[in-house]
Chain A
C-alpha cells in the first residue's frame, strides 16, 4: 500500500479502483450487522461466497457485506446490482436459490420480494417501496454501497475528496464559513449552529497551540441507533468530517468517543483508522499540505450523562462523568483545559458532503431554520421499523403512515415519542407538524438524536412518563439537587399514580416539581427531564385523571390497575393458557370454559399472549 502524498495520488487511486470495476458486473450487497445479525445475517455473505465458489462464479460476482441499510424490520436486506433487485429477510438457506435463479438465470425469486400489505403486490426495486421512496439518503445511502472494512470502497465512491478539497483549495476560515452558510445545526439534539461552534473554537486562543476535536458517539438515547449504524456502516465518512473540522479549527488531535455497548463499531473504527494511517491520510503532513492530525478511540463506560459534552470531557480525562456549569464552554476550555470542539456522529458525517457539493446545495434542503436531512430511527409500534433519512420539514404523518406503513395489527395510533428521555410525546392532533428543530420545541418535544418511537392505543402514557423518569433517575449523576431530588420525587408520584395510590393534587405537584427541576438543574439532563411529564400532561391529561380518579389504566398496562379474566363465551377450553400460566392460576376441564383465580394471578400476561381466541380479557 503506497502513501497518498498528494491529492493527485488520491485521484489516481480512485480512478484505478473504478477501472477495476465493471459496471455490468454483478454485485450482491447484504447487510451484516448485529441488528440484522439476530436473524443470522452475518452468515449470509459466507454462504454466498461458498455457493459462488461451488459454481465457479467467484470472480464474476462480488459479495459486499455492508453496514446497516436501514430497513431493519425486514432485515437482512440484500440488493443485487446492477438491476437493484431487493430481497428482504434473507436467510442462509435462501442462498442457493438466489444464486440459481437470479444470478444464473436472471429470474427474480418472488417469495423474497417485499409485498405491499395493502395491495398485495410485489416490489422488485427499492424505489418501488414507499419506505425508501420518501427518503433522501444523502448521508446514510452510502452504507449500502460499501464494505465498511474497506477504505478502498470508500475512496472508490469519492471518499476523502472533500478533505483534499478543503486542505488544498480552501483556508480554514473558508471552511468555517462554508459550514456556517450551509445552516447545518448540531445533530445531537440541541441544534446549535455547527459553523458558529467551529468559529468559537477556531478563535479561541491556546497558549501551546493544542486544540482538540471530538466525535460524540455516546448514543445513549433509548430508541435511537443511527450513530451506531453510521459508525459501523461507514466509519470513514465520520473520520473524514472530523479531519475537515480539525483543519478548520486548527486541531492536531481527535478523539472518537464511542459507547461501550457498541463493540462492533469500535472494532470497525480501529480498522478504519489503521487503513487511513497506512494510506497517509492520517499522520504528519497530509497531502503534503503541512497539516498533521491523529485520532484516538475512547470507549465509554456506560453512563447516559456522558453524552453531555462537559461530562464526556470529564470521563475522557478519566474522571467521574459529571457535567459542570458553562461557561467556560469547551470551545474555550475543554479537554485538558484546551479549546475543544465536540459534535455528534451525524453532524460530522454531514461535513464531507457539504464541502463536496457546497453550502448552497445543503441550504436548498429542509425548512427555513432547519437545513439538510435528518436520520430518524422509526421504531416501536410501526410496521416498517428502521432507519430513515428524510429532508427536514417532512410531516409526522408521512413518517408514520407512508414510510412507516402505519401501526401494526390495525391498532389505533396514539403518539410519537421524540428526542429520547429529554424529548416529549407528540399526539395525533399534531401529526401534520413539519419536523424541524423549532417546531418540535414549540410542541414540547425535541429533535434529540432522532429517536422516533411510535405508540398505539395499548401504550399507557403515564407509564411512559414513569419509564423515562425511572431511566433519568438511574442516569442522573447526582451532582445537583434539583435533578437528583426533583426526578426522584416526580417518579415517586408517578409510581403512586400507576399503582392506584394517585390522589387529587398530584398533577399540580408534578407540574410544580417539573418547573423547578427544569429551571434549576445544572445541565440539560435535568433541564429537559421534565419534558416527558409535561408533554404527557399537556396532551394526555385524561389518562392521568383515569388513573387518579377511576383507578383505571385505559391502555391496560399498569399492572396493579389491571384485572385478568376469561370470557366464558369465547373460551374453547383448549388449555393453552393454563399451561402457559407460571402460577397455575387457571383451571378448568378440557373443552370447557376455564376460570382464572385472581388471587393467584401475578398479571404476567402469559395467558393473554397465548390465547388464540381472544378469550383472556383485560379490565
Chain B
C-alpha cells in the first residue's frame, strides 16, 4: 500500500493512489475500503470480470453463509464507487519505485469490442463459430537426458503397460517397487513418455502414501497405528522404535539399512500392537523390541555386546546417542 514504511525519499511526492491486484472478494473489499477512505484505486483483474472464485461457491466455511449474498453487495459497491477504476482482462507486468511512489505497468488484453457501447447481452458469444471448437495448445515435452542403460531400464518398466489409458499409477508403483522410491528423472521420463504434464505426475506421486520421493532403506519397519493397535499401546511402541533406532517415523538410518514407517492398519488387528518388518508380521510390545532388533542385527552392535553385563539398560543407550546426533539437523 502506498502510505506504508519506510519513509519516503526526499524530493519524491507521495501519490494518493493505490493499485489493488486481484478482483476477488478480498481485492474488492480492499478497494472499497480504500476508496471510501479517499484514495484513488486501480483494481487490476486478469479475468474479464471481477468476483473471483467466490462467485463459484455455494456456501462458505465455517459459517455456511451463502456465498453470493456476501459477494453481490461488493460487486455492486465496486462498480458504484467513483474512486475505483476497474482494469479487467489486464495483468500486472512491472512494479518499480518505492513505498509511497510506485509506477506500475499493466497489460490490458484486447477485447475486440467497444466496451463503452457493449451492453453485455451475450449475443456475440452465442453466435461465435470458433467458440465451440476445442482449441488445444500443442504440448511440448522437455524430458530429462538419460544414460542409454538407464533409459532402457525405465523403458522396460513403462512398456509393461502397452495400454496407456490409466497406466500411470501402475507404472509408478512398479518404479517404486524396483527402486524403493521414485527417482526424480524417472518421474520426468514417465511424464514425457505418457505425454502427461509433469505437474500431474507429481500430483499423483505425492498424493499416495505408497510413493516416496526420497530413497528408502533396504528394509522397512512398519508400525501399525490402527485403532485396535492404538488402544493396546502402539504409540508407545512407535516412540520406543524411534528412540532405539535414533530416527523419527518416516526416516531412514544413516547407513541406509532400515526405514521406520507408520501405517494406518496392517489388517492384523487381533495381534495388536503389530509391526511389519518387510513382509513379516510381528506382534509387539515395548519390551520385545530389543529382541526383534537383535534378530535382524539392527541398532548398534555396542548394545548387543554390553547386554548381560549391565542388564537391559544398555540396550537403550545407543538410541539416546543417535537421538542426540540427529538433534542439530532437525
Chain A residues engaging chain B, CB cutoff 8 angstroms: 34-35, 37-39, 72-73, 75, 219-225, 228, 260-263, 298-304, 315-321, 336, 377, 379-381, 385-386, 417, 420, 451, 453, 455, 459, 464, 467-468, 471, 474-475, 477, 481-482, 485-486, 489, 512-513, 516, 519-520, 578-582, 584, 604-606, 609-610
Contact = CB atoms under 8 A, between A and B. Distances in A.
Interface SS of chain B: mixed
Given A318-B169, A520-B61, A604-B236, A453 B228 contact: yes
B144 interface: no
B316 interface: yes
Contact of A459 (B231, B279, B320): B231
Contact of A35 (B64, B233, B263, B270): B270
Given A37-B281, A520-B61, A303 B267 contact: no
B316 A582 contact: yes
B208 interface: yes
A408 to B, nearest CB: 10
A584 B203 CA distance: 46
A302 B204 CA distance: 11
Contacts of A451: 227-228, 269
A129 to B, nearest CB: 16
A489 B282 CA distance: 35
B51 interface: no
Contacts of A385: 228, 269-270
B234 to A, nearest CB: 10
A219 B263 CA distance: 13
Contact of B286 (A35, A225, A605): A605
Nearest to B323: A582
Which of B200, B239, B279 is most buried by chain A, counting CB atoms within 10 A of its CB? B239
A596 B65 CA distance: 55
B312 A455 contact: no
B280 A37 contact: yes
B167 A225 contact: no
B264 A301 contact: no
B166 interface: yes
Nearest to B229: A222
Interface size grouping (class) on chain B? 35 or more
A220 B230 CA distance: 15
A573 to B, nearest CB: 15
Given A73-B270, A321-B208, A417-B227, A223 B281 contact: no
Most buried by B among A35, A451, A482, A513: A35
B169 A604 contact: no
B266 interface: yes
A516 B61 contact: yes
Interface string B293-327: 00000000000000000011100100110000000
B268 A582 contact: no
Q: 6 nearest interchain CB pairs?
A: A222-B226, A72-B270, A301-B208, A225-B267, A302-B209, A318-B168
Contacts of B208: 301-303, 315, 321
Given A34-B281, A385-B270, A299 B170 contact: yes
B276 to A, nearest CB: 8
B85 interface: no
Given A318-B166, A516-B61, A579-B312, A261 B263 contact: yes
Contact of A260 (B167, B173, B285): B173
A579 B231 contact: no
A471 B270 contact: no
B108 to A, nearest CB: 33
Contacts of B243: 582, 604
Given A223-B265, A302-B210, A579-B312, A380 B232 contact: yes
Contact of A222 (B63, B168, B225, B239): B225
Q: Which of A75, A380, A474 has the most CB of B within 10 A?
A: A380
A320 B62 contact: no
B204 A320 contact: yes
21 contacts: A37-B281, A38-B281, A72-B271, A73-B270, A219-B265, A219-B267, A222-B230, A223-B226, A223-B228, A301-B211, A304-B264, A377-B228, A379-B272, A451-B269, A464-B227, A477-B207, A512-B62, A519-B64, A520-B61, A520-B64, A581-B313
B239 to A, nearest CB: 6
B210 A301 contact: yes
A31 to B, nearest CB: 12
A508 B62 CA distance: 14
A73 B269 CA distance: 9
B232 A579 contact: no
Nearest to A468: B227
B267 A579 contact: no
A257 to B, nearest CB: 11
Interface core residue of B209, B228, B233, B279 (most chain A CB under 10 Å): B228
